[in-house]
């Protein structure tokens, strides 16, 4: 499959299988070596990769995503031996994290070597590194022979892609290749921890939770939106230093958080009010909240079920797909269910919902 848009760049689309794996990965690696851009699945979300040590290749990522300049990228590595190429003064605690969580959904920010271009690191003295737990990016890094700069493969600020179709919708005609390796296992971006400071700072929450990190290295300090600060109050967007918007569909998102029954009732009230105003409303909700609407005889212009509220892992896998599906329906507002269990991956799920929402209700 080939796709083009007004940028007149041809995008090649490959659906990978065991039979064609080596052929596709070799072709993609050659494109990386020539300074091109390749989108591929990881266990978290789809990434957009280019040679992270080639400034011209990295600029193509920024152009394709319409990513603000100065917004740092992370690098994917194939093995711990790759660290010496791009990082220095690695603390002992960082190696403990690698032992515990690599390969996996943890990005570790370390002091960078001079070989890492300023455009890749956002002019910072540090760089985020991750060894993904997915065969495709690991093989692509190995065959290309270079760490890959690989942010999420979406237009900047939009919901991250958990399916190749999402990448195609955002970046067709903007990049060289899309590798379709099926849906992602986790569906949310990696946890990011800055190991250049003490105590280490958690910049973004993903599948690796605060408790898991502290069990390995001791105290860490969360700074992402919605985390609990020392005074017990939730960290706000301003406190979290959110310089850029994330995970935001074109349709306004209204999030309702709290106890499940109260959340269902509040979403029902909001739905009725918006419908009376003549607005088209979509629902991004748990199975249980959907059952409440069925019993009350309420209906919306679109509904996407994220799964049982006690199973945030399923909701995390479906979140960005749900936001994109509802966003395509030309709605006025999306009412989002924030009643999911906040333990484990549920905390990261709620963080993404908070960042996507322009209005939040606590009940």
The mean pLDDT of 220-235, rounded to a whole number, is: 63
Confidence of residue 236 (pLDDT cuts 50, 70, 90): very low
Task: List pLDDT tens digits, range 120-144.
Answer: 999 999 999 999 999 999 999 999 9
Q: Residue 248: what pLDDT?
A: 83
**Mean pLDDT throughout 243-251?**
73
All domains of the chain in start order, with CATH: 2-180 (3.90.870.10), 252-362 (3.40.50.11030)
pLDDT for res 228: 58
Alpha-carbon distance of 155 to 162, in angstroms, equals 13
CB count, 10 Å around CB of 19? 8
296 pLDDT above the threshold of 70: no
H or E element, residue 191: strand 191-194
Which residues make beta-bridge pairs with 48?
A: 39
Nearest in space to 50 (alpha carbons), one of 124, 147, 142: 147
Distances in Å between the Cα of 153 and the Cα atoms of 20, 42, 58, 209, 292 are: 23, 11, 13, 24, 36
99 with 85: CB under 8 angstroms? Answer: no
Q: What is the pLDDT of residue 184?
A: 98
Token readout for 210 is 């605060």
Residue-wise pLDDT tens digits, 23-42? 999 999 999 999 999 999 99
- Tell me what percent of the residues of the chain surpass a pLDDT of 70: 90
Average pLDDT value for residue range 346-359: 94
| Res. 165: pLDDT tops 50 | yes
Answer yes or no: pTM beyond 0.85.
Answer: yes
Residue 89 pLDDT greater than 60, yes or no: yes
- Per-residue pLDDT at 245 exceeds 60: no
pLDDT of residue 229: 47
């Amino acid at each position: 499959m080939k796709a083009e848009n007004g940028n007149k760049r041809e995008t090649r689309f490959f659906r990978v299988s065991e039979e064609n794996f080596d052929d596709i990965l070799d072709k993609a690696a050659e494109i990386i070596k020539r300074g091109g851009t390749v989108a591929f699945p990881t266990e978290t979300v789809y990434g957009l990769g280019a040679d992270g040590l080639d400034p011209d290749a990295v600029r193509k990522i920024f152009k394709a995503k319409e990513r603000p300049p100065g917004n740092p990228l992370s690098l994917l590595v194939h093995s711990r031996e790759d660290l010496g190429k791009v990082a220095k003064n690695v603390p002992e605690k960082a190696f403990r994290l690698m032992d515990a969580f690599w390969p996996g959904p943890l990005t570790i920010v370390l002091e960078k070597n001079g070989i890492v271009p300023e455009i890749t690191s956002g002019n910072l003295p540090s760089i985020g590194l991750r060894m993904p737990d997915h065969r495709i990016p690991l093989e692509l890094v190995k065959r290309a022979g270079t760490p890959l700069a690989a942010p999420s493969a979406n237009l900047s600020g939009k919901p991250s892609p958990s399916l190749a179709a999402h990448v195609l919708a955002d970046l067709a005609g903007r990049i060289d290749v899309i590798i379709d390796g099926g849906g992602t296992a986790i569906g949310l971006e990696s946890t990011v921890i800055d190991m250049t400071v003490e105590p280490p700072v958690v910049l973004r929450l993903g599948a690796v939770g605060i408790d898991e990190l502290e069990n390995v290295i001791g105290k860490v300090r969360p700074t992402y939106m919605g985390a609990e600060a020392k005074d017990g109050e939730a960290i706000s967007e301003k406190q979290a230093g959110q310089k850029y918007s994330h995970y935001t569909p074109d349709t306004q998102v209204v999030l309702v958080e709290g106890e499940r029954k109260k959340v269902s009732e509040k979403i029902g009230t909001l739905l009725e009010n918006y419908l009376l105003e003549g607005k088209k409303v979509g629902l991004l909700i748990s199975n249980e909240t959907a059952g409440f609407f069925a019993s009350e005889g309420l209906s919306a212009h679109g509904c996407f079920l994220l799964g049982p509220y006690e199973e945030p892992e399923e909701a995390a896998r479906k979140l960005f797909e749900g936001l994109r599906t509802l966003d395509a329906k030309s709605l006025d507002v999306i009412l989002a269910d924030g009643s999911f269990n906040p333990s484990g991956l549920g905390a990261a799920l709620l963080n993404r919902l908070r960042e996507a929402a322009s209005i939040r209700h606590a009940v």
